[in-house]
Every structure is written in C-alpha cells, then in structure tokens.
Amino acid sequence: MDKAAGKVIGITGNMVTVEVDGTIAMNEVGYVIVGDTRLKSEIIRISGTTAELQVFEMTQGVSVGDSVEFTGEMLSVTLGPGLLGQVYDGLQNPLPELAEQCGFFLQRGIYLDALDGTKKWKFSPAVKKGDSVRVSDAVGTVKEGIFDHRIMVPFYLPEDEYTVSSITEEGSFTISETVCTISNTKGRTYDLSMSFEWPVKRAVKTYAERLKPDKPMITKVRLIDTLLPVARGGTYCIPGPFGAGKTVLQQITSRHAEVDIVIIAACGERAGEVVETLKEFPELTDPRTGKSLMERTIIICNTSSMPVAAREASVYTAVTLAEYYRQMGLHVLLLADSTSRWAQAMREMSGRLEEIPGEEAFPAYLESVIASFYERAGVVRLNDGSLGSVTIGGTVSPAGGNFEEPVTQATLKVVGAFHGLSRERSDARKYPAIHPLESWSKYEGVIEKPKVAYVTDLLFRGEEVNQMMKVVGEEGTSNEDYVIYLKSDFIDSVYLQQNSFDPVDGAVSIERQQYVFDRLFKIAASEFEVESKEDARHFFNQLRQLYIDWNGAAWDSDSFQEIEQSIEEKFKQKWISYDSHIKSLRTEA
C-alpha cells in the first residue's frame, strides 16, 4: 500500500488540519515536516480529504503548506528485553539518551530508539525444530535483571497453529537479529527477532482466560492492607484534592508493593516528583531481591509542561508495557498519576475539534475511554498455565476536590477499590489521608474479616460520638460514649496513620500488621475501668504514646518486645473484661 502524503492547511494550538492525498486510517501516525524537523502526530478525525492531526510537539513555526508524511501504522511501542529500568517519555523516547544528545532541554522532533539495538542478549531457546507454538508462546528466554524475559511469538500474528521451522542455538544476539523462524498452517513463514511493535491503543488478549482477582496485593500501608485491600489484577483509584498526598501515597506503593514489576506513568504531573523517583530508585534496594529498585521499574513520564497530546499516549504506552510483562507470567503494578490530566488532554483536543461538549466540557466518550483503560487490568492464565496480572492504580485530581465531577464518577464506576483522600485529614496531618469511613474496597484482605468489621464499626461509632459531642459538648456525653470516641481516635492515630518517612513505620510487613492488629483489637474490644473523662483521656494518651514508640521499633528487636511489655502492663491497669460477643476472646479471658 502506498503511504499517503498531505499538506497543512490550518493550525490551532497543537492541532493541524491536513489536506490528504491517498488512503489514511484513524489513529495513523504522520509526520509534519517543518524545515529539518519532523513532528510526530496522530490522526484523530477524517472528513473527506481533510484530516485533523494532534501533534505530539509544540507547533510553533509550522506554516500553511508544510508537507505531511503518513506512516501507514498506528501509534506503537517497541516490546523486547531492555525495557526494565528505562525512563521514557509518552512516546517511548528514552529520556536519559535524549539528554545526552540534546542537553538540558527537550528538543522537538527528535525520536530515538526505545531499546538499545547494539546490546547483545544471551538467548536460551525453549522450543526445538518441529514444535508447535501459538501466539505469545515463548520460543526462548533471555535474562533481564532478575527475570526470565520470555521471547514470545509476536502478538500481532493471527491466531493459528505455528510450527517452528528453525531455532538458533543458545548464544548472544541483538534484539533485531532473527532467532527463530515459524510457519503457519498455510506454509507462510515468519522470522522472529527478540523485539516487535504493538499498537498502544489495542489491549493484548493472547492469553488462555481471564480470572477473578482474589489474591491481595500487599502495599505495606496498614490502612490499605487492613481496611481497604487491593487485589492483584484489580483496579483502584485515589481521588483527592491537591495537597492531600496522592503522589506520596503512589511513591510509597511503588517502593513497597509486593509485585514483580512496577510501571509508573507520570502523566501531566510535576517533573520534580518524577525526578525523585528517577534519582532515588537506583539507590534503593528492593528488600525481596536485594537488587536496585530501578531494575523492576519502568517510568513513563510526560510531565505537565511537556506537549499535551503525548500525555494521552503515555497512559496507553504504560499499560501496553504492563500487558507485555504480564504475558511472561509476572505480576505488574501500573501506577498512573494522574488520570485527570489525561482526561483533560482529551478535553483539550475535543475542544479543538469543536465537538459538542458534555459535562464540564469533557467529551461524551470520557466514560467509555476510562472504562476501557481500567479494563486492561486483570489476572490471566497464560497458555502454559502460569498466572500473570496487571493491577492498575490511578490517581484522580478532581477540580476543587469535589468527587462529584465527571472523571471521578466515571472512574468509580469501573474500579474495585476507592481510596478517597480527605482534605480534613491531610490538614490535620493525618497521613495517609485516606478517609477510612468513606472509602471502600470490594476485594478480600489478609486480616480476619470479623475483626476488621468490628474495628470499622468502632470507628463509625467513634465518629458519631465525636459529631454528637460537637453539639452537646463533652459534659453531655456519657463516659461509655466518650471511651468509644477515645478508642476510635486511638486506633486512628496509632494504626491508620503511618509515618511514611520513618524507616520502620514507613513499610509494615503483613506479619507485623497481623500481630499489631490482634493486639489492637483486644484494646478495641475491651472494657476499661475509668473514673472520669479526664482519667480516660489520660489513659489513652499514655497508651498512644507507647504505641507510637512501638511503631518506631524494628520488628523482633529487643525494644519492640520491651515496649510490648509496657503496653501489656498499661493495658492491664485498667482492663475489666472483653466484649462478651466475641468468641475468640472469650476463651482467652
């Protein structure tokens, strides 16, 4: 097929209108040629012989009559070994290499190879001549960091039975050298190298079946793991007003989450935050592997000052890379920060296309686009029986912190857990500022459900008492109610709140969570002997002090046990009995 060409006839912001000669496809990539530079763009509307293109670069200097070349291909990413540890922009340009070439600033029109074409990888074949393979089956592996990176039959081949007609011996190859040749049932042969291209806006579906997410993904944040768990292969969203700690929460999760690979899509957010990850991750060691955290991380970064159109591409680039690693039987976590910026990028383009605006000028297709993005998460069983998953956690930045806006609402419809951040809690420096009572999760956690329910109920009642006290005052509240309030406040400050900057408290293992929660549960379910409100407050203040010190003591250290001892003593001073409704405690008492 001949590739089409065209001429620019209009420019508004980052959208150019092109008069086209030839056949073009929706979402096809074209280049606007301005002098010596070629600006990558994507077709977003076709009518008659004119096409509208969004340009992934600044359009300064483009003039009417400039020529446009089309590629005949949709926006794609390169998949192959060497992706881990990379820092890409939204179009998969490696940023450090770009910096080497262009210096401090991002010059437009410069596109580099996503993967190093000269590096040799040690390939070990997994099939032999005559074996039959299907799409996305591994024909061999290479070692990429700590992982066995599967070299797969490219996803773009049609569903069919293929026969291996030749395969190389174990040896070192670049990503573009042919390592295997396969032929389909009609006898057509395909040469396979270690890398291939895949269009970002198409979900990878070459797995056996999709399963229900039922295993928890541990984040080491107490509030999440205990009360609002996230499942591997599930989806969750973190809406919150600015300054409530969305990004810090994402950063903590990216460090401590128990998954194989983390992909961070910094989409339209601050460059400074990406830099923190960029500079700190190579220095940090992954406690599970002992290697640098960067070896399990890919960063896709399209910060707020980078061109808007590439922002939209960046979330798709990220999810495509996640799906690629899922096909290797790995568990991948994709953190998108923030999906609102992506939605705004859609709104900007929609405005330039002069489409009829929906709510708050967002396009009418907002909901379906968001839904189909989150639907790319999931646990899947691969052809060889192994499991892989993509978990997606997206932050939402609602205008004015009001969750009633279109992006938050569209997101809430499709996710499995909602971690809503509250301005009130962050103002009071209660971090993580996830509102424990307004948020929800549909997934199963690791802590016994009845106990969690008991504590949640206590938090609810404590909040009720607190609200009531605002009306009737402390003196109008009974001692029992006051103790409920104190208990809930105590649980909040020593368990739900967590100091992410503390080396010990920052990441709490699941064993420790279970242990501490059990201890805490006993306090929650106990009746205490208190003479007055003052006495009760004093008692809980002392308990809180002990717990705060306890949270700072390393697991299984001497001081951990010492403080636990003091807590036990303090607890016994005023303890009367356990709540008689609870079976497990009845025997203990």
Partner 1 sequence: MRKVYTRIESISGNVITVRAEGIKNGDLAVVNSVYGSSLANVIRLKHDQVSLQVFAGARGVSTGDEVRFLGKPMQVSFSDNLLGRIFDGSGRPRDNGPELKENMIDIGGPSVNPAKRIIPKNMIRTGIPMIDVFNSLVESQKLPIFSVSGEPYNPLLARIALQAEVDLIILGGIGLKYDDYLYFRETLEEGGAMSRTIFFVHTASDPTVEGLLVPDVSLAVAEQFALQGKKVLVLLTDMTNFADAMKEIAITMEQVPSNRGYPGDLYSQLASRYEKAVDFDEAGSVTILAVTTMPGDDVTHPVPDNTGYITEGQYYLKNGRIEPFGSLSRLKQQVNDKTRDDHRALMDGMIKLYASYKESLEKKSMGFRMSDWDKKLLSYGELFEEKMMDLSVNIPLEQALDLGWEILSQCFEKDETGLRSGLVNKHWPEDAAYGKDTADEK
Q: How far apart are CA 496 and CA 226, in angstroms?
A: 9
Among 146, 399, 412, 504, which residue interacts with partner 1 (rule: CB under 8 A)? 399
Six-digit token pair at 110?
A: 């410069």
Interaction between residue 104 and partner 1 (CB under 8 A): yes
Interaction between residue 46 and partner 1 (CB under 8 A): no
Among 79, 274, 322, 491, which residue interacts with partner 1 (rule: CB under 8 A)? 274
Whether 284 contacts 293, CB under 8 Å: yes
Q: Which stretch binds partner 1 (CB under 8 A): 154-162, 178-186, 218-226, 338-346?
A: 338-346
Interaction between residue 354 and partner 1 (CB under 8 A): yes
Among 25, 26, 275, 284, which residue interacts with partner 1 (rule: CB under 8 A)? 275
Interaction between residue 103 and partner 1 (CB under 8 A): yes
Among 12, 478, 557, 559, which residue interacts with partner 1 (rule: CB under 8 A)? 12
Q: How far apart are CA 63 and CA 8, in angstroms?
A: 7
Using the minimum distance from each CB to partner 1, give the nearer residue, 234 or 406: 406
Whether 234 contacts 391, CB under 8 Å: yes
Element spanning 129, H or E: none
Among 141, 226, 253, 303, which residue interacts with partner 1 (rule: CB under 8 A)? 303
Interaction between residue 64 and partner 1 (CB under 8 A): yes
Using the minimum distance from each CB to partner 1, give the nearer residue, 287 or 476: 476
Six-digit token pair at 260?
A: 């194989």
Least CB distance to partner 1 at residue 151 (A): 29
Interaction between residue 452 and partner 1 (CB under 8 A): no
Using the minimum distance from each CB to partner 1, give the nearer residue, 427 or 438: 427
Among 176, 372, 545, 577, which residue interacts with partner 1 (rule: CB under 8 A)? 545
Q: What burial letters (b/e) apply to 32-54, b meaning 16+ CB within 10 Å?
A: bbbeeebbbbbbbeeeeeebbbb
Instruction: Write the secondary structure of 417-464 as one string of H (helix), E (strand) and C (coil).
Output: EECCECHHHHHCCCCCCECCCCCEECCCCCCCHHHHHHHHHHHHHHHH
Whether 301 contacts 331, CB under 8 Å: no
Using the minimum distance from each CB to partner 1, give the nearer residue, 37 or 456: 37
Residues within window 500-539 making contact with partner 1, judged by CB under 8 A: 501, 533-534, 537
Q: How far apart are CA 133 and CA 152, in angstroms?
A: 10
Among 153, 249, 278, 486, which residue interacts with partner 1 (rule: CB under 8 A)? 278
Six-digit token pair at 288?
A: 């599970």
Sheet holding 189-192, edge to edge: 132-133, 162-167, 180-183, 189-192
Interaction between residue 562 and partner 1 (CB under 8 A): no
Cα atoms found within 13 Å of the Cα of residue 57, Cβ hemisphere only: 20
Q: Measuring CA to CA, which residue among 509, 516, 575 is closest to residue 548? A: 516
Using the minimum distance from each CB to partner 1, give the nearer residue, 261 or 308: 308
Q: Which stretch binds partner 1 (CB under 8 A): 111-119, 255-263, 298-306, 513-521?
A: 298-306
Q: Which stretch binds partner 1 (CB under 8 A): 44-52, 72-80, 227-235, 296-304?
A: 296-304
Residues within window 123-152 making contact with partner 1, judged by CB under 8 A: none
Among 85, 117, 199, 351, which residue interacts with partner 1 (rule: CB under 8 A)? 351
Least CB distance to partner 1 at residue 202 (A): 27
Dihedral sign computed on CA atoms, order 462, 467, 468, 473: positive
